[in-house]
Chain A
């Protein structure tokens, strides 16, 4: 059974700092890993999808990596801004064909 863990649960940084959010999963037979952002009271916004054959994906100031052998993914945010404040969720899709989510990292970027 796939389990996904995100560390830390919460993170507070000053504006402009580069930061890394961590995601680990127990089953390396993973098809893809997807990172989402959730603002308070809102649904989930897809940020990046890394397929199992890929090692990383980039979108603007975001870079996500996937290491299946170690069961880890990281989301790197460069030059953080107050507008980046949100909860970031990672989810892995495996043979069960459903996304298994971590509990998220709540990020606060202080002006």
Chain B
């Protein structure tokens, strides 16, 4: 595609429900990153993929968070039993590879847990 696509753009969910956030990277980009941006905070790294494998999951806040990538393309970030502190904008980025290449971001998914 022309750019990184994320869906949904907005999601309101009740506390305790599970949510899935989707990221469609730029075609041919092997590296894919998930970040979280809370109100008034900087970007917090969550996880990155090289192909379908995730060499670095160190940023996932708890075991309620998981992510997968299939076919070296689409990635899904799943949050189980959502809590109010999970409310944030979740941003996805892709780049041709890791190291020394430009990263391109999607428009993000704004998650609100009520």
Say whether A98 contacts B105, CB under 8 Å: no
Say whether A98 contacts B33, CB under 8 Å: yes
A88 interface residue per 8 A CB criterion: no
Interface window among A42-50, A61-69, A73-81 = A42-50
A108 CB → nearest B CB, Å:
17
**Taking chain B's interface residues, is the majority helix, strand, or loop, or is none over half, making it mixed?**
strand
B70 interface residue per 8 A CB criterion: no
Say whether A36 contacts B105, CB under 8 Å: yes
Say whether B42 contacts A46, CB under 8 Å: no
> A44-B105, A99-B45 known; 19 other A-B pairs, CB under 8 Å?
A32-B100, A34-B103, A41-B110, A42-B107, A43-B4, A43-B91, A43-B107, A45-B105, A52-B100, A97-B56, A97-B98, A98-B45, A98-B48, A98-B56, A99-B33, A99-B43, A100-B45, A102-B42, A104-B42
Number of B residues, CB within 8 Å of A: 27
Chain A residues lying within 8 Å of B98, measured Cβ to Cβ, are 97
Q: Which A residues form the contact surface with B (CB < 8 A)?
A: 31-32, 34, 36, 41-46, 49, 51-52, 89, 91, 93, 96-104
Chain A residues lying within 8 Å of B106, measured Cβ to Cβ, are 43
Contact of B43 among A41, A46, A49, A89 (CB under 8 A): A89
B41 interface residue per 8 A CB criterion: yes
Closest 8 CB pairs of A and B: A44-B105, A97-B98, A103-B42, A101-B43, A43-B107, A49-B102, A43-B105, A43-B108
- B31, B50, B103 interface centre (most CB from chain A within 10 Å): B103
Q: Which B residues form the contact surface with A (CB < 8 A)?
A: 4, 6, 31, 33, 35, 41-43, 45, 48, 50, 55-56, 91, 93, 98-108, 110
In the complex, what residue of chain A is closest to B33 when comparing beta carbons?
A98
Chain B residues lying within 8 Å of A52, measured Cβ to Cβ, are 100
Q: What are some 7 contacts across the A-B interface (CB < 8 A)?
A: A46-B102, A46-B105, A97-B50, A98-B33, A98-B56, A101-B35, A104-B42
In the complex, what residue of chain A is closest to B97 when comparing beta carbons?
A97
Say whether A103 contacts B105, CB under 8 Å: no
Say whether B100 contacts A51, CB under 8 Å: yes
